[in-house]
Structure 1
Amino acid sequence: MTAAPARTPRSVWDEMSEGNSRFVSGAPRHPRQDVERRAELAGGQRPRAALFGCSDSRLAAEIIFDEGLGDLFVVRNAGQVISDSVIGSLEYAVAVLEVPLIVVLAHDACGAVAAAIDSVGVDAPSLPPLIWRQIAPIVPAVRRVIRSGADAGVTTATVDPEDVGREHLRDTVGQLLHASELISQAVAEGRLAVVGANYRLAEGTASPVVIVGDAGDSQL
């Protein structure tokens, strides 16, 4: 019996990109979603990739990438903000489940990004403490984007949320690698790559913004 080919970071991202293309074109295959697949997975899992994304109800990862049961190890919170629980979950995916790829998935029109922008405005209303704690890590990205566009007159009122979202996405990938020696070491050894991608709600496309490791052209 021929052994299955090894899953590499690049081959997994290529497969996910192909699935996203099928979703965008309206021709998804809905693979590995039948009774046989359910029975096959009852004894354990071996996902192709881990995905850390925003909790937004429009970011259903398996649908966006046309994947099936057991394909993605998914971790989500509002605004895809790094935390100990997120890092621990992703380290489990890498160390125990041996995924070769982590996808960090952001999106346009993100409510957490909008709340972070609003929070730095003059006379911004106070937020419930736990909501503020969730969006506070996005605020540095807001301030940097405003500062970088100051010469062009960018203000809190006019800053582009998509620019902030992409800046926060880069921050998230960087924070993950900085906080987790296990993950950064796996990337250095070529066993893992991290792709930060942005999802466009209207088009359905998930396009890479930052790639670390051998999953395509490195951008960080």
Structure 2
Amino acid sequence: MNTDSPAHRGAGRAPHPFAGPRPTTGGPVRRTLLRTALTGAAALGAGLAATRPATAAPHTPGNTPGNTPGTAPRPGTPGEALAELAAGNRRWRAFRERHPHETPEIRRALTTAQHPFAVVLGCIDSRVPPELVFDQGLGDLMTVRTAGEVLDEAVLGSVAYGVLELGIPLVVVLGHQSCGAVRAAVEAEESGGRLPAHIQYLADQISPAIDHGKEGDARIDATVDANVRLVRSRLAAEPDFAAKVDTGRLAIVGARYELTSQAVHRVA
């Protein structure tokens, strides 16, 4: 994930590349379902949210809300969160992992509260665990994983809990090279057959992203990126998320992990 460009430097209001094109649709039914999911999530996680202020305090270096004693300041803006993930991925692919935030002191501190700085919506693929590929530790990331990053109401409610209840400033939709769920969706469409059990549901959700301008492995590869863009746009269309994006308090970005190089890069 390259943060060297001007679009990824600095803090405060998120630059336009963070927000990207945002559909204006969402509809009252989807908003109602999201609120319903949030109500349940808030009840289950009330103990975790109890120590978070109702409104996030302005971020200044060294006093980020939720800093654990003895650790570096938590990223408090979308730009800072992106920079931390990029630095962690550089360590990962250089075999210089720090495995941070695993000490007994950190573990004790995390028994009373959590203050993750990013939500990562990724695939269930066993080769792409976000905490490892971004070299983060306990309490750093809130991860939601489904095959092909497929969205449903439980996933939306989970992401919303992190953003709206815990004040997380960054959501990353993380696809990856050689995604089996994407391949299954593409091959099912080409053959006209149906996949077993609930796997067909995944294919149906990925189907709108299938790239019809390419063939073979190139089609699957292009569909991986298109699916990331589709999921990101659906998240960005949620009114509660859009309001935070518009004020620079949240970025929702698409990214992709390459199995061959272990690098994460943005999907525009």
Q: Which residue is equivalent to 2:222?
A: 163
Q: Secondary structure at the match of 1:55?
A: coil
Query: What do the CA deviations read for 1:140-199 (whole angstroms, capped 9, x no partner)?
Result: 211xx21xx2xxxx44x4643111100111001011122x21111111111000111000
Q: Secondary structure at the match of 1:121?
A: helix
Q: Secondary structure at the match of 2:138?
A: coil
Counterpart amino acid of residue 78 in structure 1: A
Match of 1:74 among 143, 157, 163: 143
TM-score normalised over the length of structure 1: 0.85
Q: Which residue is equivalent to 1:141?
A: 209
What are the equivalent positions in structure 2 for 1:11-90 lying under 5 Å apart? 11-90=80-159
TM-score normalised over the length of structure 2: 0.71
Counterpart amino acid of residue 110 in structure 1: C
Q: Check if 1:175 corresponds to 2:234.
A: yes
Query: How much does 1:25 deviate?
Result: 0.6
Contact 2:185 2:202 (8 Å CA) reproduced:
no
Q: Distance in 2 between matches of 1:159 and 1:74?
A: 29
Contact 2:256 2:264 (8 Å CA) reproduced:
yes
Query: How much does 1:202 deviate?
Result: 1.8
Aligned Cα root-mean-square deviation (Å): 1.5
Query: What do the CA deviations read for 1:45-101 (whole angstroms, capped 9, x no partner)?
Result: 010111110011111111110101000011111110111111111111011110000
Counterpart amino acid of residue 192 in structure 1: L
Q: Check if 1:197 corresponds to 2:234.
A: no
Query: What do the CA deviations read for 1:109-134 (whole angstroms, capped 9, x no partner)?
Result: 00000001111113x43212411012
Q: Secondary structure at the match of 2:149?
A: coil
Query: What do the CA deviations read for 1:1-27 (whole angstroms, capped 9, x no partner)?
Result: x63467110011001100000001111
* Unmatched tracts of structure 1, length 5 or more: 211-220
Q: Distance in 1 between matches of 2:136 and 2:228?
A: 23
Q: Secondary structure at the match of 2:87?
A: helix
Q: Which residue is equivalent to 1:218?
A: none
Percent identity of the aligned residues? 36
* Unmatched tracts of structure 2, length 5 or more: 1-61, 65-72
Number of residue equivalences: 198
Counterpart amino acid of residue 125 in structure 1: G
Q: Distance in 2 between matches of 1:200 and 1:8?
A: 26
